[in-house]
Amino acid sequence: MVSLKSFKHRNLVNLFPFLALKRDFKLIFLANLVGSFGDGLYAYLLPIYVTETLRATSVELGFLFAVLLLVAAFTLILGGILADRYDRKKVIILGWLLWLPAPLIFASAGNWIEMIPGMVLYGFWFGGPTVTAYVTSKADKETLTLTFATLSTAWSFGYIFSPAIGGYLASMIGMKQVFYIAFVFYFAAAMTLLFLTSQHPPDLQIDSFWEWKALLSKKILAWSFFFAFLMFVLLLFRGFITPFLSEVYELKEFEIGSLGSVAFFGSAVLAIVLGKIGDRWKKTNAIAVSMFFNSLALLLLISSRNLIVLVVSHFLVGASYTVWSLLSAIIGPLAPKSAQARWVSIPQSISILSSFFAPYVGGWLYSFSPVYPFIIALVLTPLIAALAMTVMNKFF
C-alpha cells in the first residue's frame, strides 16, 4: 500500500520533474536557468536591434544568423571530439566562457558588420554534444527523454521573464546596458558549473575505422538528415517573428518582449508534455506533436493581430525550442560509449549546417512579403510530422 507521503512526493515530482534530477543535473539546470535569463534579456530583441538601431536589411539580418549557424555546425563537431577525449565538465564550462565576449561586442557595434565577431562567438556551441554525452552516461534510461526535456525547460524558464524585462530595460536605459547585464549572467552560469562532478570519457580502445563507420551508419545519417530538414524549416521563420511583430503589427519593444516570455513559458510547459509522450509512447510521436503545435502557432500568428491570439500563438511556438532535447534523447542512447559525444555531434552539426541558408532564405522571402517565411513553414511542418510517424519509426 502506498503511503500518503509517498503519494504526495510522486505527485510533486510529476508537477516539478526538477526535484527528481540528480545533483549534477540540478547544477546543469541551474546554470542553464541563470545563463538563459541573461541571454533572454537581449536574444529575442536582437533582430529588432540589428534592423532598427544598426539599420540592417532583412537580408543582412539573415546573413548574420547564417554566420552564427555556420560556426555552430563546426564547433559542435569540435566539441564532440573534445568531449570524447577530455573531462566533459571542462568542455561544458569552456562553452560558456566562449560566449562571454559576445554581448560586449554587440554593445560596442556601430553597424551590423561589427556584429559579426560577436555572432561568431555566439555560435560556439561546444556544450551541445558534451551535455548530451554527460547526461546520457548518468541518466536512467527509463526517464531519459524527460530528463533532457526537464533540462531544456531551464532555458525556457530563464526566458519566461527576461524578454519582457529586457524590453523594459531597453526602453529605459538602452540596449547597450542590457548587453552588459547579460554578460554578468553568462559569467554566473559558467561559475555555477565549477561545482559539477568531472566526467571523463571511457577509455575504450576501438579501431578508428570501425568507429567512424559506426558514426556514418544508415541510422545516424537518416536521423541527421531528418533533423536537418526539421531545423531548416524552424530557422526559416523563427528569426523573423520579432521584425514581423514590429513592422507588420507595429508592436512596441515591451509588448514584443512580453510575447517572447509567453513563447518560452510555452516551451517550458510543452517540453515536459513532449518528454512524457516520448518516454511513455514513441519519441517520434513527440516530434509529430511538436510539429502540430508549430503549425497551429504559425497559422494563428499570420491570421490576427489580436493580443489574445498572439499570446496563444507564442505559447504554441514554444514547441519549436524543444526539438534539440528530442534529438538528444533519440541519438544519445544509440551512441557507442567510445564515441558518445562525437556520435551526437554528427546529427547536430549536419542539421545546423544544412540550416546555414535558412535565415538567409527566410530574409529573402521576407523582403518580398513578411508572411512568406511563415507560410512556407506552415506548409512544411505537417510533412515533417508525417515523416516522423512513418519513415523515421524504422530507424530506432
For the stretch 79-122, pLDDT in tens is 878 887 888 889 889 888 989 999 999 999 989 999 999 999 99
- pLDDT for 381-394, tens place per residue? 999 988 888 877 76
Question: Within a domain: residue 2?
Answer: no
Question: Within a domain: residue 254?
Answer: yes
Question: Within a domain: residue 11?
Answer: no
**How far apart (Å, rounded) are the C-alpha atoms in residues 291 and 88?**
32
Residue showing cell 541551474 = 30
Does residue 18 register a pLDDT over 60?
no
- Alpha-carbon separation of residue 224 from 228, 231, 348 (angstroms): 6, 10, 7
pTM of the model: 0.70
- Domain of 30, CATH number, reads 1.20.1250.20
- Alpha-carbon separation of residue 130 from 146, 176, 341 (angstroms): 18, 32, 6
pLDDT band at 242 (very low <50, low <70, confident <90, very high): confident
**How far apart (Å, rounded) are the C-alpha atoms in residues 240 and 235?**
9
- Alpha-carbon separation of residue 240 from 59, 149, 235, 306 (angstroms): 11, 25, 9, 19
Q: Work out the angle at residue 43's Cα, subtended by the Cα atoms of residues 39 and 47, and round it to the nearest 5 degrees.
A: 165
Average confidence score pLDDT of the chain = 81
Number of structural domains (the chain) is 1
pLDDT above 70 covers what percent of the chain?
A: 83
Question: Within a domain: residue 167?
Answer: yes
Q: What is the dihedral of CA 168, 173, 177, 181, to 10 degrees?
A: -50
Q: Who wins on pLDDT, 164 or 26?
A: 26
DSSP state of 371: T
Q: What is the per-residue pLDDT for 278?
A: 73
Q: What is the per-residue pLDDT for 342?
A: 67
Question: Within a domain: residue 200?
Answer: no
**How far apart (Å, rounded) are the C-alpha atoms in residues 233 and 361?**
10
- pLDDT for 328-352, tens place per residue? 677 666 666 656 666 667 777 777 7
pLDDT above 90 covers what percent of the chain?
A: 21
Q: What is the per-residue pLDDT for 181?
A: 95
- pLDDT for 283-316, tens place per residue? 788 888 889 999 999 999 999 989 899 999 999 9
- Grid cell, residue 391, equals 519513415
Does residue 210 register a pLDDT over 60?
no
Residue showing cell 507521503 = 5
Which of 7-11, 15-19, 159-163 shows the highest mean pLDDT? Answer: 159-163
> Which domain range does residue 373 map to?
20-195+207-395
Question: Within a domain: residue 13?
Answer: no
Does residue 180 register a pLDDT over 80?
yes
Q: What is the per-residue pLDDT for 101?
A: 93
Question: Within a domain: residue 6?
Answer: no
Q: Where are the beta strands (DSSP E) in 211-285?
A: none
Q: Work out the angle at residue 68's Cα, subtended by the Cα atoms of residues 44 and 329, and round it to the nearest 5 degrees.
A: 80
Question: Residue 209's CB: how many other CB atoms inside 10 A?
Answer: 8
Does residue 41 register a pLDDT over 70?
yes
